[in-house]
Amino acid sequence: MNNNFIIWLKNSRAAKRYSIAAFILCIGYYVLETINGRAQMADFQVYYGAANAFIDGTPVYGRAFGVSDVGFFKYSPFAALPFVPFALLPYTPASIIYYLIMTVAFILWPLYLFFYLTSKHISIDLKKTGIVIFLSVLFLADHIERELHLGNINLMLLIMCFASYHALCRGKQWQSGIWMGIILLFKPHFAILLPYLFWKQKWKAFFSTAATMVIGMVLPAIFKGWSQNMTIFFQWIEAMREHNTSLEDSPNTIYGLVNNYLLGENGGPLLVAILLCIVALLFMWLLIRNQRITQNTDIRFIEFFVLVAAIPNLTHTDTEHFMWTWPLIMYSILVLTSGNLRNIWPSVILMTLSFIPFCLNSPDIVGRTLRDLFDEGGLLGLANILLIINAIYLCLRLQVPQSTK
């Protein structure tokens, strides 16, 4: 967190108002959850239970932790280590501390993202600071609520991903690779970024990522011994395999959307390969076009975070992972409110349509039937695809001089 950001925080009335409002809402939400007996933080219970099992020498994989019989730990053994300090505490204080950490993250993350984008990419009237931050947070409201309710780590991973991107932009490839390696030890889904590093010839970052993953896989052996560490490692591989599903049956992926709505559920693994190749070719076209127009081979914000946002559309994940589209959402809102484009209404309409399944997919708002249609019927995945396309469209439009007529 650089000094300029801290100075901006001190001087921005909108940032202060957001910080106070967000803190009150997060704490109020926890109090209401506690009163209603819903402050279970089911995902945090899984991490807490896995860390306890790691300490006690009992099985980490193949057993359910917490409030659900499906609360299995599916991350690498390394991913249990950051939760060991929490496991040394009784559950209630540990969960409260973790909730406060999430609250601070939800306050600072959109503020820093706004500061970064307006400093590096998009000039905007600072009077619009409040509305841009509010709209981006409102767009993610359902995912934020779910993250706080479950006590998950998706926002933390997104922040680490941004740290990796920012380090890469500053030429600190080894540091970028360390962040990326840690992320992959939590979520192998982020391997989608490795071909991008290869394409951009970021060799130091590429090898730093690989080295960090190797170290992370070996590190638990310090506590468990080599033989036990290998046993746990293969249990992790088996846990990932057991909790996977056929991609063509995953409703919010591009494969599931095409399979369900165009092929009548007659698609198979070949459909996955074909669509993945099409997506890869389209992204390569974007990379080549950007490089040709800008004559700049440095990593670009849109290129990087399009890949991050596309993860839930290309791999089978939980719906909370659509939170990773946050950088593109704020970028799009900034472009649309900056006054740098003349005709913004097509994008405004597209984002409004996306907002419905993206934010309103709560049974308390639209009812369980519509919520199931959004989450399990693929409309959330379709909305995410539209948001990605819209961000790319706005980025390409900014590369073309706008008519003054």
pLDDT tens-digit map of 11-42 = 999 999 999 999 999 999 999 999 988 888 98
The predicted structure's pLDDT at residue 64: 83
Tokens 């590369």 identify what position? 399
Q: What is the pLDDT of residue 297?
A: 46
**Entry field: residues in the chain:** 405
Question: What confidence score (pLDDT) does residue 69 get?
Answer: 64
pLDDT of 403 over the 50 cut: no
The stretch 70-77 carries a mean pLDDT of 85
Query: Could you give the residue ranges of the DSSP H alpha helices within 82-128?
Result: 84-87, 91-120
CA angle, corner 163, sides to 157 and 164, nearest 5? 90
pLDDT at 377: 83
Q: Answer left, alpha or beta for residue 265, where phi above 0 means left and psi between -120 and 50 means alpha.
A: left
Q: What is the mean pLDDT of residues 144-166?
A: 94
* Six-digit token string for 278: 């099409």
Q: Mean pLDDT for the chain?
A: 88
So what's the pLDDT on residue 405?
35
User: Per-residue pLDDT averaged across 89-95, rounded?
Assistant: 94
Distance separating alpha carbons of residues 25 and 325, to the nearest angstrom: 22
Amino acid at site 77: P
User: What's residue 1's pLDDT?
Assistant: 63
Residue 404: pLDDT band (50, 70, 90) is very low
Query: What is the pLDDT averaged over residues 121-149?
Result: 90
In this predicted structure, the answer to whether residue 402 has a pLDDT above a threshold of 60 is: no
Q: Which residue has the tokens 């409703």?
A: 251
Greatest mean pLDDT among 23-37, 223-237, 251-265: 23-37
Nearest to 321 by CA among 99, 95, 102, 140: 140
Picking from 224, 219, 240, 245, the residue whose alpha carbon sits closest to that of residue 79 is 219
Rounded to whole angstroms, how far apart are CA atoms 95 and 45? 8
Q: How much is the pTM?
A: 0.93
Mean of the pLDDT values across residues 70-90?
Answer: 90
Which DSSP string do the residues of 361-394 spell out, in sequence order?
Answer: --HHHH-HHHHHHHHHSSHHHHHHHHHHHHHHHH
Tell me the mean pLDDT in the region 243-263: 84
Percent of the chain predicted with pLDDT > 90: 56
pLDDT band (50, 70, 90) for residue 370: confident
Give tens-digit pLDDT for 272-309: 999 999 999 999 998 888 887 765 544 689 999 999 99
Would the pLDDT of 250 be above 90?
no
